[in-house]
Structure 1
Amino acid sequence: MIPWAPHCCQDTGPLVHCNCWPRAGPESGPRGTGATEEEPPMGFDATVLAAVVDELDRHLRGGRIHKVYQPTPWELHLLVYAGREHLRLLLSCHPQGARLHLTQVVRPNPPHPPTFCMLLRKHLEGGRILAVRQVGRERIAHVEVGALDELGNPATYTLVAEVMGKHSNLVLLAPSGRIIDAARRATEEQNRYREVLPGLPYVPPPPTGKLDPAAVTGEELGQWLARAGVEAMGRPAWQFVLDAVDGLGPLVAREIAHRAGVGGLAGNLGPAELDRLARACRELYALVDSRAFAPTLLLDEAGQPRDFAVVELRHWAGATLPVDSVSALLDRFYAAQEERQRTTALRAELRRVLAQELGRVRRKLQAQLEDLRRAEEAEPLRQKGELLMAYLWQVPRGADRVELPNFYDPEQRPVVIELDPALSPAENAQAYFRRYQKARSGLQAIREQVARSQAELQYLEQVEATLAAAASLPELEEIRAELAAEGYLSEGPAEEKGRGAGARGAAGGRRAGEGLQGSGQPSRPLVVRSSDGLEIWVGRNNRQNETLTFKLAAPTDLWLHAKEIPGAHVILRLPPGVEPPETSLREAALLAAYFSKARLSANVPVDYTLRRHVRKPPGARPGMVLYDHHRTLHVTPDPEREPFLQQALTAAGMAGAAGSDTVPEG
């Protein structure tokens, strides 16, 4: 039994493999209860690994490895030809997604394979998979490969997958049991229980010291509980099962407690309850040992994957989706998880870039407005020059100031004029005229700069509103592609940087990345039908607004937009010569008001006009338009009071959309 080793790996960082965390038993210290023991992500416990190993062994045994890839530092792909088909085995030691299973996902590979990948190719390519097996009840799998060693003799290499959350690793072992290399190396300073370095004997992670789920008895559970101490007595019964029994995850521990009909705290469990828990555990694990798996995806309220299991869960009250195979189950779940992670990361990055650019533009605009104020105050300079020329005979040579009557003032109050003593009175007057001309000549340029900065600020604020309303990864990727096309981000998806100073200050809105197209499938606009059966289109971002208004809408269609508020372009499709029905017009206005920054306001003004009265100014940014011949309708976009709006939001998956600023004329 391994004693608790405090402070041995607290500062090793997220990529260090360490197995000296408390895993033994209740006597191993306060953390030995398992309350803080590292669990695999979601439901990947030993029961899932048993199902995966069973499936892999059946499909891959005897298969030949013809290619090895390492697309990321923590993920391997082994291409195997088995059973007259090409299969792809994924092995991952990612801290949040450690796993192994067959996959349909093909990832791009780096231009130069990592060293670990090259070693795997050297020893495993061309070899045959002899077996895939699980080590006891552990979350450790061995992929045994028969190949030829460096001398051409038959040898068996072992690829070890340790699926243990942030402590996961992939280790290649030589026939002698020594380590050839690992995805994550660990030195003695990083892990005092074992070193994971090339050339050293492989030492498996320390045993858990927990009870065997297939043979556990109520008496053993009682002894464990007695040793666990007061802290364990205050934990829920299912968590006590999780701490005491080997190979279980939280979901299966809850299922055991549910099947045993045991609830409450562990301290209240008597012999009868402990016997029921032990019997439920043995019965459930009998399903695992007999390979009676039922791969199931567990869904949340929105129908998205939330967790997974390979045995029937009677305690799960939410929706479920049976899946044909364990690999398909894991492929689907982790694809959804990765999309959520990418969505979160991309949203955070876009927010950071927008906050940075908004701050830059606001500071620049403030400085320009100050320059404009000074330029507009140039008229007093001309007046002082005129006064000096009119009263030259009253200005003494060498004076530093003079007080003269001000005939520009209706009350003829005198004005004090500052002078340069080194200049004559006439030369001082000319100096004032030169300062006036300089200020006047820069006034128009400053006004143009202010107009450009105000337009850029409006555009960035609109993109910020669009980002807040975006609900899916394709929508975020379109926002990113738009910002890249406008020069705010670099073309590379992993190198999102602000624009250079030259691009920011380019006259006429020159774009550093013009022509860049977003990757992947574009998101689709919202399309609903009004109560009168007319189609209503709603743009979800600036690109969709541009497409709807200028490529898809007919000149006779009705165009709607929240008045002087960032929001979506809305199109009400109308046959030529047909007046819009009042009900359809109001419903389209509700959508325009809701998909804008004023969605929480009452009596939102919505302008509407025929599409032929909407045009894009030359050089304008995406979604920026001018329109005229418009009328205004006021609506309150409250889904609770408007059944049509609620139906439209349901059709949109409750995903908001926002478009771009517009400027009405007249």
Structure 2
Amino acid sequence: MALDGAFLRHISQELEQSAQGARVEKIYQPNREEMVFVLRTRAEQFKLLISARANSARIHFTKFVPENPKQPPMLCMLMRKRLSGAKLVQIRQPQLERLLFLDFDAVNELGDFVRLTVVTEIMGRYSNIILVDEDGRIVDALKRVDPEMTSERLVLPGLRYELPPAQGKLCLLEVEPKQVITALQMQLKEMELSKALLSVLQGVSPIVCREIQHRVGRGEQLMLQQLTDSHRERLEFFLGRLKQEIEQCSGTPHLVLGSDKKPMDFTFLRPEQYGTSAVVREYSSTSELLDAFYEERDHIDRMRVREQDLLRHLTTISDRLSRKINAQRAELAQCAEREHLRICGDLLNANLYQIEAGLSSVELENYYEESLPKIRIRLDPRLTPAQNAQKYYKDYRKARTAEEKLTEQIAHAQHELLYLDSVLEELSRAVTERDLMEVRQELQEQGYLKAPKGSKQKPAAAAAPLEFTVSDGFQVLVGRNNKQNDRLTLKLANNNDIWFHTKNIPGSHTILITDGRIPTEAALRDAARLAAFHSKGKSSSQVPVDYTQVRHVHKPAGAKPGMVIYDNYHTMYVTPQEE
């Protein structure tokens, strides 16, 4: 991983220079894997993000604070109790391990001063945030590790904190470059130099090892058996320079951007290995760099985690409805034979005089057809001919009633499935915690989700619709979810405004505000593109979009949120584009 022990040493120095002596003002836990400490000095306030996420574990100052839940988790409340008002007195890093110890002077419940330590372990999926008391015992941890998970190193309240097992690598803070070269000679000769460096050195990431190889080999790939005396001299020189930059924390944070302008790596060295295939951007601080590298990806990950339970619940309901509809359609297909049942009853009634009791079947002329073909009718030998006829009539009436009920139930289930598709689509467009909260509240109101027991939370304040200015200065409003679609179309919009919606495709209600003007063709097309972009058809071309005046849009009684009917409409085919 790019956030190696050497880079963490640079972060440690930055934290020490800016926040040592600061006091803990607030503590937040936006989700189960991240915590934010608000630290205040006499002159400035800092937001310290500590993340134990498997793919983005890190610690740094941040400007992008994640949204916080209304109810803080237990660990957050414990941290607030023990660390509120505490003073950050020291930041420690053992060698170049990916560990950082934040020592705080705090006051306990008895008023005595105690030393508490927040341990940040940055180790991929084993990353953790651990609170340790003055005796070195664990108070609690973000991720508890019990004997069922491992027997090597337990992380549980009351146990003594132990460092993670050492990897036995060389630390550049304690050894000289010649010792590193000697250790390299003991590796497999067929091994690439960069991989050999990675296996020997502590606290350096693959990008640093590749950079050393690039500089030693002047851009050529180097295997250990290819190293000449000249290569060894260059290797000793660049390892010495690396040692100096790590000791003095003199490196400058650099971010590597791919050809698509998306961040792909970072380091405290200026990387030369990418040449013209990547863009290298320099940052003034490690925190600024890490904010730029992780923020967009972490935001997507956070939203994905929070919407996962909703997505799973909606998918389960949709699958159940689909299976129900298929079963009802199969049953409805059987009801299509009900006319045959009535005909059998009529023929039996018309021929009672010639049917003997106790027969299991009888052949009679079908006078409903011109050729009077013979038809075999099955009978129940235990019933009289008249009772058999009545049984056929009874089965006919039962099939007719079933057909009516099944048709009604299938139509209702299809409308319900269409509504769930619209909720899934709005869920895919949710970008904030409030968007997810509104979707959750909508599902609770419609009976698809149960409100938490004892919950007295007030409904979240409705967010404003999305606003856009399109061609010729017209304003367009786009609903974020079904409830907002209803509010936008039925309450906010004027009767003369133009309403847009993708044809037979789940999506947002889109309103072109006319303000008494006649909309231009360009404005109509822009509004139609916005409606298509905020729909399930956003990645398609030639998406059909219906539009009409708001006065022609109506909501049937009892219809679910976002469901309307409309007439006097036109259809436009557009290709949505993000811009």
Instruction: Give the TM-score of the pair, scaled to structure 1.
Output: 0.69
Which residue pairs with 1:617 in the alignment?
556
1:230 aligns with 2:230: no
- Given residue 279 of structure 2, which amino acid in structure 1 is its aligned partner? G
CA offsets per residue over residues 597-630 of structure 1, 9 Å max, x none?
A: 6667776554443332222222223333222223
Q: For 1:227, what is the secondary structure of its paired residue?
A: coil
CA offsets per residue over residues 293-325 of structure 1, 9 Å max, x none?
A: 6456665667666555455556673364735x5
1:247 aligns with 2:218: no
Structure 1 residue corresponding to 2:304, chosen from 315, 329, 344: 344
Q: For 2:556, what is the secondary structure of its paired residue?
A: coil
Structure 1 residue corresponding to 2:3, chosen from 25, 29, 44: 44
1:559 aligns with 2:499: yes
CA distance in 1, matches of 2:80, 2:230: 53
Which residue pairs with 2:567 in the alignment?
628
Deviation of 1:289 (Å): 3.5
Structure 1 residue corresponding to 2:166, chosen from 175, 183, 206: 206
Deviation of 1:453 (Å): 1.5
Equivalent residues in 2 for 1:315-326 (5 A)? 317-318=278-279, 320=281, 322=283, 325-326=285-286
Which residue pairs with 2:240 in the alignment?
282
Structure 2 residue corresponding to 1:529, chosen from 470, 489, 497: 470
Equivalent residues in 2 for 1:134-283 (5 A)? 134-145=93-104, 159-169=118-128, 179-180=137-138, 183=141, 184-185=144-145, 190=150, 198=158, 202=162, 205-206=165-166, 208-212=168-172, 216-217=176-177, 219-232=178-191, 235=192, 237-257=193-213, 261-267=218-224, 268-283=226-241
Which residue pairs with 2:353 in the alignment?
393
Structure 2 residue corresponding to 1:416, chosen from 376, 396, 419: 376
Does 291-300 or 43-52 show the bigger shift? 291-300
Deviation of 1:529 (Å): 1.7
Deviation of 1:449 (Å): 0.9
Deviation of 1:263 (Å): 3.6
- Given residue 276 of structure 1, which amino acid in structure 2 is its aligned partner? R
Which residue pairs with 1:55 in the alignment?
14
Confirm or deny: 8 A CA contact 1:173 1:202 kept in the other structure.
Answer: no
Change (3 A) 1:62 1:537: closer
- Given residue 362 of structure 1, which amino acid in structure 2 is its aligned partner? S
Deviation of 1:452 (Å): 0.4
1:438 aligns with 2:398: yes
CA distance in 2, matches of 1:73, 1:566: 33
Change (3 A) 1:471 1:433: closer
Confirm or deny: 8 A CA contact 1:562 1:604 kept in the other structure.
Answer: yes
CA distance in 1, matches of 2:383, 2:294: 81
CA distance in 2, matches of 1:287, 1:538: 53
CA distance in 1, matches of 2:449, 2:244: 56
Confirm or deny: 8 A CA contact 2:169 2:201 kept in the other structure.
Answer: no
Equivalent residues in 2 for 1:498-517 (5 A)? none
CA distance in 1, matches of 2:338, 2:167: 84
1:380 aligns with 2:320: no
Deviation of 1:370 (Å): 3.1
Confirm or deny: 8 A CA contact 1:382 1:432 kept in the other structure.
Answer: yes
CA distance in 2, matches of 1:420, 1:565: 52
- Residue-pair matches, total: 566
CA distance in 2, matches of 1:457, 1:189: 42
Confirm or deny: 8 A CA contact 1:214 1:285 kept in the other structure.
Answer: no
CA distance in 2, matches of 1:537, 1:207: 58
Which residue pairs with 1:4 in the alignment?
none
Q: For 1:407, what is the secondary structure of its paired residue?
A: coil
Matched-pair identity in %: 35
Equivalent residues in 2 for 1:351-500 (5 A)? 351-464=311-424, 470=429, 472=431, 482-491=442-451
Confirm or deny: 8 A CA contact 1:146 1:154 kept in the other structure.
Answer: yes
CA offsets per residue over residues 89-128 of structure 1, 9 Å max, x none?
A: 55555544443445674855977845x9869966x77765
**Alignment gaps of 5+ in structure 2:** none
Q: For 2:448, what is the secondary structure of its paired residue?
A: coil
- Given residue 498 of structure 2, which amino acid in structure 1 is its aligned partner? L
Q: For 2:557, what is the secondary structure of its paired residue?
A: coil
- Given residue 396 of structure 1, which amino acid in structure 2 is its aligned partner? E
Deviation of 1:56 (Å): 3.1
- Given residue 554 of structure 1, which amino acid in structure 2 is its aligned partner? N
Which residue pairs with 1:21 in the alignment?
none
CA distance in 2, matches of 1:630, 1:145: 67
Deviation of 1:273 (Å): 3.4
Q: For 1:247, what is the secondary structure of its paired residue?
A: coil
CA distance in 2, matches of 1:594, 1:202: 53
Confirm or deny: 8 A CA contact 2:528 2:574 kept in the other structure.
Answer: no
1:133 aligns with 2:73: no
**Alignment gaps of 5+ in structure 1:** 1-38, 496-512, 638-644, 652-666
Instruction: Give the TM-score of the pair, scaled to structure 2.
Output: 0.77
Deviation of 1:368 (Å): 1.9
CA distance in 2, matches of 1:196, 1:345: 25
CA offsets per residue over residues 405-446 of structure 1, 9 Å max, x none?
A: 333222233433333444443343333333333333444332
CA distance in 2, matches of 1:577, 1:88: 49
CA distance in 2, matches of 1:245, 1:616: 68
CA distance in 2, matches of 1:433, 1:384: 8
